[in-house]
A and B are shown apart, each in its own frame.
Chain A
Amino acid sequence: MQKYFDIEFWRRVTYVDVTLWLMRAAVIIVVVWGTIGTLIDGRYSNEQWFDFVMFGLTMGGIYALVALGYTMVYGILRLINFAHGDIFMTGAFTAYFVASPLGKSGFLEENLLISMIIICLTAMVTCVIIALTVERICYRPFRSVRSFAPLICAIGASFFIQHSFRGMYGSSVRAYPDVEFFDKLLSIGSFDFPMIQPVVILAALGSMTGLYLIVMKTRMGTAMRATSEDRDTASLMGIDVNRVIIFTFVLGGSMAGIGGVLYAFVFKQVYFFMGFFPGIKAFSAAVLGGIGNIPGAMLGGFFLGTVESVGPALFLDGLGIVAPYQLRDLIAFTMLVMVLIFRPQGLLGERVSQRA
């Protein structure tokens, strides 16, 4: 606070600072104005708000799982793995070929837990194989090249994966099997929601807890954190950086695989382009949380999912915008920009990476 009374501080204020302050003020006014408008209007019932939040958390869990892959790879390679959204798609798509017969034969309904484990494992294995192939072919040869080559390769890999799947399986949408248990409505008081929502949220939280323990407690996990801090010094400790990178892609791919299956059971469909939007949103979630930061990606995912779901009704409706729900994607990206205006380093990111 004291710095604001210092004349020197005001002399050093630049146009950029002033512009940022104005933008921050504008953002706050719009959000507060819209929220007050919506709440006074009272157009939405408590049940509807509950729906928005539950759906938001469900999507948030999936975004968080996918965001982890972006953030861990960035932490090690300082590279955005643009193909990650499509890797997510390959898992869900391949698992369809297991889920569909399981659904048809009735095994899925009878032995839901076992079936889900089989389906998830299929997706995870697929994602890991594709992720490792992408790393080997697209990233490793260019690792020491300081140019845009790795980025261009990442984008190329993304298109290649999409169009391979389109070529192999066509561009039609395939329906994931219905599961009665997932569609069942649960009620708490006057609020009700389909079973799939808590299932997704809990599965996401469970997987993330597992990942967190691996990263924090195991030797390879610690080596991964050490490598993301200082690759050269890690290698001086006898850590084979290539093995750490492979380990990272395995973890990221597994999370994407689980995320893909959950996504497919929420929307009950898969097609070759399905990875694109979740991929971009999960990437935004990783940036929101502070790219490179693992708890940040988890928080960013849930945060983005919730705001994207609640936001249109809460902020936009009150401003008199019609059909605010059409603007969900807009909200997601506007929010990314907004958070970055307030905290350029992301929610949990560090301002400057410190080096001893």
Chain B
Amino acid sequence: MAHIEVDDIHVYYGNIRALQGISFKVEKGAIVTLIGANGAGKTTTLNALSGILGLREGSIHIGDTNISDFMPHQLIPKGIVHVPEGRRIFARLSVDDNLAMGAFTRNDKAELSKDREYVLEMFPRLRERLDQTAGTLSGGEQQMLAIGRALMSKPDVLLLDEPSMGLAPVLVEQVFNSIIDINKTGVTCMLVEQNAYMALQIASYGYVLEGGRIALEGVAQELAKNEEIKKAYLG
């Protein structure tokens, strides 16, 4: 059974239709990417998944739980965490408090401190800056914090919205490497990207979104060779 199964979802902003019937699947333990141009509906899709936006039609299943009507805060207990577009760290809170908010629902102290240690190993820069106000971190550090904060909930599914946005190539590499590492521990990853080249390199399967519809899908390596995609997204 697929880990995430999205079936024919329609999402509106008021009367404006943003998603017109999208379906896709993410297998357990896979990295699947959703690519597309600006305004294609990538962020809308993730926001619908995590309950920030409601569905007009269609359904979303995680395992065999129907989460179509879930509120955003109900997803963490289901093992799903969403790293939103633009990082959205809590700028006025300290780095440490940001991490603590990632673990808001947890009460297993011993396990928690292990996971915190794991996050700080992965992003040593955060350890040096635990007491710093998060808003003063650099863009790259903020992205690390956003991912680290999400990992604090010990998720089974990680939804990532453009983690490479606004980062220098070296940092993009670093962030993508950490996504691979996280995936290796068994976390299912859904990666939304404009940087199609990088995304298709680490994903096993990909979907191309255009004007609120899935225009194309396929095994990542093949999508990367596809002429149309090369022209449109790979330059």
In the complex where A237-B104, A354-B91 touch, is A232 in contact with B86 (Cβ < 8 A)? Answer: no
Q: Which of A38-46, A220-228, A336-344 contacts B (4 or more CB under 8 A)?
A: A220-228
* Of B72, B87, B142, the contact of A235 (CB 8 Å cutoff): B72
Name B77's closest neighbour in chain A (CB-CB): A238
Docked CA distance A236–B157 (Å):
13
Cβ of A234 within 8 Å of any chain B Cβ, yes or no, is: yes
Known: A235-B72, A238-B76, A241-B73. A356 touches B93 (CB 8 A): no
Partner of B73, one of A222, A238, A355, A356: A238
User: A230-B90, A232-B84, A356-B89 known; A237 and B135 CB under 8 Å?
Assistant: no
Q: Are B72 and A236 in contact (CB under 8 A)?
A: yes
Answer whether A235 and B100 are a contact pair too, CB < 8 Å, given A229-B91, A230-B88, A355-B91: no
Chain A residues near B168: list those with CB within 8 A.
Answer: none
Please measure, in the bound complex, the distance between the C-alpha atom of A234 and the C-alpha atom of B92, giving whole angstroms. Answer: 13
Contact partners of B76 in chain A: CB under 8 A: 236-238
Say yes or no: A225 contacts B73, CB within 8 Å.
no
- Which residues of the partner chain A approach B104 to less than 8 Å between Cβ atoms? 219, 223, 237-239
Q: State whether the Cβ of A110 lies closer than 8 Å to any Cβ in chain B.
A: no
B71–A237 touching, CB < 8 Å = no
Question: Does B219 lie at the interface of the complex (its beta carbon under 8 Å from any beta carbon of A)?
Answer: no
Contact flags B36-77 to A (C-beta < 8 A → 1, else 0): 000000000000001010000000000000000001110111
> Contacts of A232 on B, CB cut-off 8 Å?
52, 72, 84, 88
Query: What separation, in Å, do the CA atoms of A238 and B82 have in the docked complex?
Result: 10
Assuming the contacts A356-B87, A356-B88, asked whether A237 and B93 have C-beta atoms less than 8 A apart, the reply is: no
**Which residues of the other chain, B, contact A219 by a CB distance below 8 angstroms?**
100, 104
Q: A223-B104, A236-B84 are in contact. Are A356 and B142 (CB under 8 A)?
A: yes
Residue in contact with A225 in the complex, picked from B77, B90, B102, CB distance below 8 Å: B90
Give per-residue flags for A203-234: 1 if the beta carbon is below 8 A from chain B beta carbons, else 0. Answer: 00000000000000001001101100110111
The answer on a CB contact under 8 Å between B101 and A226 is yes
What's the Cα separation between A236 and B93 when bound, in Å? 16
Max chain A Cβ within 10 angstroms of own Cβ: one of B73, B87, B153: B73
Residue ID in chain A nearest B84 by CB atoms: A233
Residues of chain A contacted by B4 (CB below 8 angstroms) = none
CA distance A230 to B101 in the complex (A): 12
Residues from chain B with Cβ under 8 Å of A234 in the complex: 90, 101
Taken together as a complex, chains A and B put the C-alpha atoms of A274 and B25 apart, in Å, by 62
Given the interface pairs A238-B104, A238-B105, the reply to whether A229 lies near B92 with Cβ below 8 Å is yes
CB distance from A33 to the nearest CB of B (A): 41
Residues of A within 8 A of B153 (CB): 237-238
Complex Cα distance A223/B75, Å? 17
A356 touches B84 (CB 8 A): no
Q: With CB as the reference atom, state the residue of chain A lying closest to B100.
A: A222
Report the minimal beta-carbon distance from A9 to chain B, rounded to whole angstroms: 29
Taking a contact as CB atoms under 8 Å apart, the answer to whether B87 and A225 are in contact is: no
- A185-209, CB < 8 A from B: none
Q: Once bound together, how far apart are the Cα atoms of A355 and B134, in whole Å?
A: 11
Tell me whether A240 is interfacial, beta carbon within 8 Å: yes
- Tell whether B116 is near chain A: CB-to-CB under 8 Å: no
In the complex, what residues of A have CB within 8 A of residue B142's CB? 356
Give every chain A residue within 8 A of B86 (Cβ-Cβ). 356
* A7→B37 CA distance, assembly (Å): 44
Closest Cβ of chain B: how far from A71's Cβ, in Å? 15
Shortest Cβ gap from B190 to chain A (Å) = 14
Closest to B89 in A: A356
B115 near A: Cβ within 8 Å? no
Least Cβ distance of A278 to chain B in Å?
29
Do B90 and A236 touch across chains, with their CB atoms under 8 A apart?
A: no
Would you call A225 and B88 a contact (CB within 8 A)? no
Residues of chain B contacted by A226 (CB below 8 angstroms): 90, 93, 97, 101
Checking B71, B101, B135, B149 against A222 with a beta-carbon cut-off of 8 angstroms, the contacting residue is B101
Q: Which residues of A contact B135 (CB under 8 A)?
A: 354, 356
Residues of B within 8 A of A356 (CB): 86-89, 91, 134-135, 142
Min CB–CB distance A346 → chain B (angstroms)? 16
Q: A226-B93, A232-B84, A234-B90 are in contact. List 7 more A-B contacts (CB 8 A).
A: A225-B92, A226-B90, A233-B90, A235-B52, A236-B81, A240-B73, A354-B135
Instruction: Please name 8 pairs of A and B residues whose Cβ atoms are closer than 8 Å in the assembled complex, sorted by A.
Output: A222-B100, A223-B104, A225-B92, A232-B52, A232-B84, A235-B72, A237-B153, A238-B75
Closest 7 CB pairs of A and B: A238-B76, A235-B72, A238-B105, A233-B88, A235-B73, A240-B73, A226-B90
